[in-house]
Structure 1
Amino acid sequence: MDSEVELRLRELIFERLAELRSAHGVVTRNQWENLEIDGRPRRLIDRNRGIWNPRDLAATLSVVSNPAGPYSDSELTESLFAYDYRAGSVDGDNRKLRRACDLGLPIILLRTVRAGIFVPIFPVYVVADDLPNRRFMLALEQSLRFVTDPLHLDPIERAYALRAVKQRLHQPEFRGRVLLAYEQKCAVCSLRHGELLDAAHIIGDGKPDGIPIVPNGLSLCKIHHAAYDTNLLGVSPDYIVRINASLMEESDGPMLRHGLQEMDGRALSLPPRAADRPSQARLAKRFDDFLASSG
């Protein structure tokens, strides 16, 4: 396949994946194995291996990275993700990853969140082949393909790379894990339209203990996320929704009445798995801020 045609196919795949990620946060193996692209079914993942090299494509299409797996895939500096060679030969499945680098073709990084469930990160670029360490360097942002030395960034490049990694890797993975834990519904109002759901931090991103893990997250629709971030809505450590006293005294349209005021005193909808439930210690700390603002 001509590289320009192949690039267009990959762009069509990314468009479809963007729709799925927006709606669900994650993509299941069944979806990966038979996803309709431009009116035709297309496999986007290997059945048994972590690298998928379709016969009709010149380069690798997707790679799987499992944080709990046997490989030491990891973020490397602020700009790159290190992806280990497949065990065994330095060639084999690794050969088409080198072709992705040579041709500048973007690939998909699949981050495993549970067995058979992945958060897709795309487009990702293979920018270096680190043969001595048996790994490839993946750039999560297109512009990072063109820095002089991706392993040694200058201060401006490093600041940009930090933002890129946060936006391209951390945020989608956090959202995917949180929405999956809450079964794609708002923990306050139970809205199930995934496109309208966010993963809200209990302790804010960038603050001590504000790490992107499910117990520090809440699945919230956009109105309740905005209300939570501005302390118009709070969640007590015993999982009860509270609305800022100033809002409870207002008189406005149906959104205020039904969307916010009627949520006061409602029990939070919790994830089925106890390990995914919001940290009560974090909720208590955040609830203190809410109470202070409600004055």
Structure 2
Amino acid sequence: MNIVLMLLPAIAWGILPLAVARVNGKPINQIFGTAIGTLIVSIVVFLIMRPSISITSFILAALAGGFWIIGQLGQYNAYRSIGVSQTMPISTGLQLIGTAFIGVLIFGEWASTNAKIFGIIGILLLIVGVSLTAKKDNKAPSNNQTRTVIMLVLTTIGFLVYNSIPRAMTSSGLAIFLPESVGMVIAVLLYIIFTRQPQVLKEKASWQSLLAGFIFSIASITYILSVRDNGVNSAFVISQLSVVLSTVGGMVFLHESKTRHELLLTIIGLILIVSGAIVTTIF
């Protein structure tokens, strides 16, 4: 059962980009459906588990959920611009690099000399891996690709805040799942209001994207349970295999084409990204 719990988050998070990309809608439709789907599942989980949480923790968790929307909206936009198979390695690598730096600067990780050495090696592996997966054959990056990568760098801040806030809270796990989803929905609705897109609420693509929220919820819940049963390091490292599944899936199921050389660089880049995740986490 422990092995199943370790693998389920990777499988669900790996499938999520493929499910989203198959919805014939705009990123705003996809993010709305994802948030609403997550809220539905979180309410069910709350009614069954009845976890307790303070008002302060509820607000902080909701804030984390709001920042998650920023990061995920960046990903969803990138799927349309450069494809899932290129977006996911870049986005995952940026998150791993940012999370490592936050762990050192804010939470005092890598205290020993060995930890610092392996941590730096891990970050270098991540940087090289991201660079390889972003490389295109015999041509400079297009303006579209450059703008998309810059957008991913900026919106990754949302993911970093989303991952960091729970680490500073006394409440964690399933207790914060509902407030996070509430924050997600509030953030999406505010985005819809400020961008003046009320039609999103009744468009078919928005409600088709509920499936993405259900998939994300499965990943989140099983990851929380995996951390409980297998420990943070093992659960986190195995979950990063999702980038392999989503990247390969983008090429196989979404028919995103790469030259033989680009495919080789992508495979090497994925190996380096997963290796970097292992080095920065385990050592």
TM class by shorter chain equals under 0.3
Bigger RCO (CA 8 Å, 6+ sep): 2
More strand by percentage: 1
Give TM-score, length-normalised by structure 1: 0.24
The structure in which a higher percent of residues are helix is: 2
